[in-house]
Amino acid sequence: DAGVIQSPRHEVTEMGQEVTLRCKPISGHDYLFWYRQTMMRGLELLIYFNNNVPIDDSGMPEDRFSAKMPNASFSTLKIQPSEPRDSAVYFCASSFKGIGTNEKLFFGSGTQLSVL
Amino acid sequence: RKEVEQDPGPFNVPEGATVAFNCTYSNSASQSFFWYRQDCRKEPKLLMSVYSSGNEDGRFTAQLNRASQYISLLIRDSKLSDSATYLCVVYQEYGNKLVFGAGTILRVKS
Protein backbone atom coordinates (compact mmCIF):
# COMPACT_ATOMS: atom_id res chain seq x y z
CA ASP A 1 0.00 0.00 0.00
CA ALA A 2 1.26 3.49 -0.81
CA GLY A 3 0.23 4.86 2.56
CA VAL A 4 -1.69 8.07 3.14
CA ILE A 5 -1.17 10.39 0.20
CA GLN A 6 -1.39 14.14 0.52
CA SER A 7 -1.12 16.87 -2.07
CA PRO A 8 0.37 19.31 -2.60
CA ARG A 9 3.55 18.86 -0.55
CA HIS A 10 4.09 22.61 -0.48
CA GLU A 11 1.69 25.46 -1.05
CA VAL A 12 2.58 29.13 -1.10
CA THR A 13 -0.27 31.55 -1.51
CA GLU A 14 -1.24 35.10 -0.81
CA MET A 15 -3.54 36.24 1.93
CA GLY A 16 -7.16 36.10 0.85
CA GLN A 17 -6.72 33.28 -1.62
CA GLU A 18 -8.53 29.96 -1.38
CA VAL A 19 -6.42 26.94 -0.49
CA THR A 20 -7.44 23.31 -0.98
CA LEU A 21 -5.49 20.46 0.56
CA ARG A 22 -6.10 16.90 -0.55
CA CYS A 23 -5.81 13.51 1.07
CA LYS A 24 -6.18 9.91 0.02
CA PRO A 25 -6.36 7.56 3.03
CA ILE A 26 -5.12 4.00 3.11
CA SER A 27 -7.61 1.71 1.42
CA GLY A 28 -9.87 0.01 3.94
CA HIS A 29 -9.33 2.55 6.68
CA ASP A 30 -12.62 3.84 8.04
CA TYR A 31 -11.26 6.84 9.93
CA LEU A 32 -9.66 9.94 8.50
CA PHE A 33 -8.18 12.79 10.52
CA TRP A 34 -6.93 16.27 9.65
CA TYR A 35 -4.25 17.74 11.93
CA ARG A 36 -2.36 21.02 11.92
CA GLN A 37 1.16 21.39 13.32
CA THR A 38 2.85 24.64 14.31
CA MET A 39 5.83 25.40 16.49
CA MET A 40 3.66 27.29 18.96
CA ARG A 41 0.75 24.86 19.32
CA GLY A 42 2.16 21.50 18.26
CA LEU A 43 -0.18 18.97 16.63
CA GLU A 44 -3.86 19.87 16.83
CA LEU A 45 -6.80 17.81 15.62
CA LEU A 46 -9.00 19.83 13.30
CA ILE A 47 -11.65 17.30 12.27
CA TYR A 48 -12.15 13.60 11.82
CA PHE A 49 -14.43 11.41 9.72
CA ASN A 50 -15.79 7.92 10.23
CA ASN A 51 -17.07 6.19 7.11
CA ASN A 52 -17.01 9.54 5.27
CA VAL A 53 -19.17 11.24 7.91
CA PRO A 54 -17.70 14.15 9.92
CA ILE A 55 -17.80 13.14 13.58
CA ASP A 56 -16.02 15.94 15.40
CA ASP A 57 -15.13 19.30 13.87
CA SER A 58 -14.66 21.13 17.16
CA GLY A 59 -11.01 21.71 16.33
CA MET A 60 -11.73 23.64 13.16
CA PRO A 61 -10.53 27.13 14.03
CA GLU A 62 -13.27 29.12 12.34
CA ASP A 63 -15.71 29.26 9.47
CA ARG A 64 -12.94 29.89 7.00
CA PHE A 65 -12.03 26.22 7.34
CA SER A 66 -14.13 23.45 5.85
CA ALA A 67 -13.54 19.77 5.19
CA LYS A 68 -15.29 17.20 3.06
CA MET A 69 -15.04 13.51 2.40
CA PRO A 70 -17.16 12.72 -0.65
CA ASN A 71 -16.05 9.07 -0.73
CA ALA A 72 -13.91 6.58 1.14
CA SER A 73 -10.78 7.39 -0.84
CA PHE A 74 -10.69 11.17 -0.87
CA SER A 75 -10.92 14.13 1.48
CA THR A 76 -10.28 17.85 1.17
CA LEU A 77 -9.52 20.61 3.63
CA LYS A 78 -10.32 24.06 2.33
CA ILE A 79 -9.36 27.45 3.71
CA GLN A 80 -11.18 30.43 2.28
CA PRO A 81 -9.98 33.13 2.61
CA SER A 82 -6.52 32.19 3.82
CA GLU A 83 -4.60 34.30 6.34
CA PRO A 84 -0.91 34.39 7.32
CA ARG A 85 -1.72 32.78 10.69
CA ASP A 86 -2.92 29.70 8.81
CA SER A 87 0.69 28.96 7.85
CA ALA A 88 1.49 25.51 9.22
CA VAL A 89 2.01 21.90 8.24
CA TYR A 90 -1.29 20.15 7.67
CA PHE A 91 -1.30 16.39 8.14
CA CYS A 92 -3.92 13.89 7.11
CA ALA A 93 -4.00 10.56 8.93
CA SER A 94 -6.08 7.43 8.70
CA SER A 95 -6.74 4.36 10.81
CA PHE A 96 -8.62 1.10 10.42
CA LYS A 97 -10.44 1.46 13.71
CA GLY A 98 -11.13 4.45 15.88
CA ILE A 99 -8.44 6.04 17.95
CA GLY A 100 -9.89 4.69 21.17
CA THR A 101 -8.83 1.16 20.37
CA ASN A 102 -5.06 1.56 20.59
CA GLU A 103 -5.17 1.64 16.84
CA LYS A 104 -2.14 3.04 15.08
CA LEU A 105 -2.53 6.28 13.17
CA PHE A 106 -0.89 6.44 9.75
CA PHE A 107 0.07 9.95 8.75
CA GLY A 108 0.61 11.37 5.30
CA SER A 109 3.72 13.37 4.50
CA GLY A 110 1.91 16.62 5.18
CA THR A 111 1.33 19.84 3.27
CA GLN A 112 3.54 22.78 4.18
CA LEU A 113 1.30 25.82 3.77
CA SER A 114 2.73 29.33 3.67
CA VAL A 115 0.31 32.25 3.43
CA LEU A 116 2.07 35.50 2.60
CA ARG B 1 -1.77 24.26 31.80
CA LYS B 2 -1.30 22.11 28.71
CA GLU B 3 -3.02 18.75 28.64
CA VAL B 4 0.21 16.96 27.77
CA GLU B 5 3.53 18.50 28.74
CA GLN B 6 7.00 17.52 27.66
CA ASP B 7 10.44 18.99 28.14
CA PRO B 8 11.22 20.35 24.66
CA GLY B 9 14.95 19.67 25.03
CA PRO B 10 17.03 19.38 23.02
CA PHE B 11 18.73 16.44 24.66
CA ASN B 12 22.22 16.18 23.21
CA VAL B 13 23.77 12.79 23.97
CA PRO B 14 26.72 10.77 22.64
CA GLU B 15 26.25 7.50 20.83
CA GLY B 16 25.78 4.63 23.23
CA ALA B 17 24.28 6.76 25.97
CA THR B 18 21.07 6.04 27.80
CA VAL B 19 18.51 8.83 27.72
CA ALA B 20 15.09 9.20 29.30
CA PHE B 21 12.19 11.49 28.54
CA ASN B 22 9.24 12.21 30.76
CA CYS B 23 5.79 13.42 29.91
CA THR B 24 2.98 14.51 32.21
CA TYR B 25 -0.72 14.64 31.46
CA SER B 26 -3.42 16.60 33.23
CA ASN B 27 -6.54 14.54 32.64
CA SER B 28 -6.68 11.66 35.09
CA ALA B 29 -9.36 9.99 32.97
CA SER B 30 -6.90 9.47 30.12
CA GLN B 31 -6.97 5.88 29.01
CA SER B 32 -4.31 5.05 26.49
CA PHE B 33 -0.81 6.31 25.97
CA PHE B 34 1.67 6.26 23.12
CA TRP B 35 5.03 7.51 21.98
CA TYR B 36 5.32 8.73 18.41
CA ARG B 37 8.54 9.64 16.67
CA GLN B 38 8.84 12.49 14.18
CA ASP B 39 11.91 13.01 12.05
CA CYS B 40 12.74 16.51 10.82
CA ARG B 41 10.25 17.64 8.18
CA LYS B 42 8.54 14.25 8.21
CA GLU B 43 5.28 12.85 9.50
CA PRO B 44 4.83 11.37 13.00
CA LYS B 45 5.06 7.59 13.23
CA LEU B 46 4.01 5.34 16.09
CA LEU B 47 7.01 4.20 18.09
CA MET B 48 5.21 2.22 20.76
CA SER B 49 2.12 2.02 22.90
CA VAL B 50 2.55 2.37 26.65
CA TYR B 51 0.98 -0.29 28.84
CA SER B 52 0.19 -0.07 32.53
CA SER B 53 2.75 -2.71 33.42
CA GLY B 54 5.44 -1.08 31.34
CA ASN B 55 6.72 -2.50 28.09
CA GLU B 56 9.92 -2.90 26.16
CA ASP B 57 10.71 -2.99 22.47
CA GLY B 58 14.37 -3.62 21.85
CA ARG B 59 16.32 -0.65 23.15
CA PHE B 60 13.15 1.25 24.04
CA THR B 61 11.29 0.97 27.34
CA ALA B 62 8.07 2.78 28.15
CA GLN B 63 6.62 3.21 31.62
CA LEU B 64 3.32 4.57 32.88
CA ASN B 65 2.65 5.96 36.33
CA ARG B 66 -1.08 6.63 36.62
CA ALA B 67 -0.90 7.88 40.19
CA SER B 68 1.54 10.63 39.24
CA GLN B 69 0.14 10.99 35.74
CA TYR B 70 3.37 10.67 33.90
CA ILE B 71 4.80 8.55 31.11
CA SER B 72 8.43 7.90 30.40
CA LEU B 73 10.51 6.64 27.49
CA LEU B 74 13.96 5.20 28.02
CA ILE B 75 16.34 4.68 25.12
CA ARG B 76 19.40 2.53 25.74
CA ASP B 77 22.54 2.42 23.62
CA SER B 78 21.53 5.49 21.59
CA LYS B 79 22.19 5.44 17.86
CA LEU B 80 22.66 8.36 15.51
CA SER B 81 19.44 7.27 13.82
CA ASP B 82 17.52 7.84 17.06
CA SER B 83 17.84 11.60 16.51
CA ALA B 84 14.29 12.85 16.16
CA THR B 85 11.45 14.51 18.05
CA TYR B 86 9.57 12.20 20.39
CA LEU B 87 5.90 12.99 20.88
CA CYS B 88 3.98 11.88 23.94
CA VAL B 89 0.37 11.10 23.04
CA VAL B 90 -2.62 10.55 25.30
CA TYR B 91 -6.03 9.20 24.36
CA GLN B 92 -9.05 10.66 26.17
CA GLU B 93 -12.32 8.77 25.82
CA TYR B 94 -14.23 11.94 26.68
CA GLY B 95 -14.07 13.76 23.41
CA ASN B 96 -12.65 10.62 21.75
CA LYS B 97 -9.44 12.34 20.89
CA LEU B 98 -5.69 11.91 20.85
CA VAL B 99 -3.80 14.77 22.49
CA PHE B 100 -0.22 15.26 21.36
CA GLY B 101 2.54 16.79 23.42
CA ALA B 102 4.77 19.35 21.75
CA GLY B 103 7.62 16.88 21.60
CA THR B 104 11.12 16.37 22.97
CA ILE B 105 14.06 16.80 20.62
CA LEU B 106 16.82 14.21 20.81
CA ARG B 107 20.16 14.65 19.10
CA VAL B 108 22.59 11.76 19.22
CA LYS B 109 26.12 12.69 18.25
CA SER B 110 29.16 10.61 17.37
pLDDT in tens, B78-101: 999 999 999 999 988 777 778 999
Nearest to A29 by CA among A10, A47, A52: A52
User: Nearest CA of chain A to the CA of B79: how many Å?
Assistant: 24
CA distances from B27 to A8, A39, A58, B55, B78 (A): 36, 23, 19, 22, 31
Amino acid B93: pLDDT:
77
Question: In chain B, which residues have their Cβ closer than 8 Å to the Cβ of A99?
Answer: 91, 96-98
Amino acid A102: pLDDT:
66
Decide if A99 and B87 are in contact by the 8 Å CB cutoff: no
User: Nearest CA of chain B to the CA of A71: how many Å?
Assistant: 23
Q: Rounded to the nearest 5°, which phi and psi values hold at B39?
A: -80, 160
Q: How many other C-beta atoms lie within 10 A of the C-beta of residue B32?
A: 19
pLDDT in tens, B5-47: 999 999 999 999 999 999 999 988 888 899 999 999 999 999 9
Decide if A91 and B32 are in contact by the 8 Å CB cutoff: no
Which pLDDT band, with edges at 50, 70 and 90, does A101 fall under?
low
Decide if A100 and B93 are in contact by the 8 Å CB cutoff: yes
Which pLDDT band, with edges at 50, 70 and 90, does A1 fall under?
low
Question: In chain B, which residues have their Cβ closer than 8 Å to the Cβ of A55?
Answer: 96
Decide if B95 and A98 are in contact by the 8 Å CB cutoff: no
Residue A19 has pLDDT above 90, yes or no: yes
Residue A103 has pLDDT above 70, yes or no: yes
Q: Rounded to the nearest 5°, which phi and psi values hold at B44?
A: -70, 145
Task: Name which of A50, A55, A99 to mutate to probe chain B: the one with the most chain B Cβ atoms within 10 A of its Cβ.
Answer: A99
Beta strands B104-109; B11-14: pairing state: parallel
Amino acid A104: pLDDT:
84
Decide if A105 and B101 are in contact by the 8 Å CB cutoff: no
Decide if A107 and B98 are in contact by the 8 Å CB cutoff: no
A8-12, B47-51, B94-98 — which is least confidently predicted? B94-98
3-state secondary structure of B80: helix
Q: Rounded to the nearest 5°, which phi and psi values hold at A60?
A: -65, 120
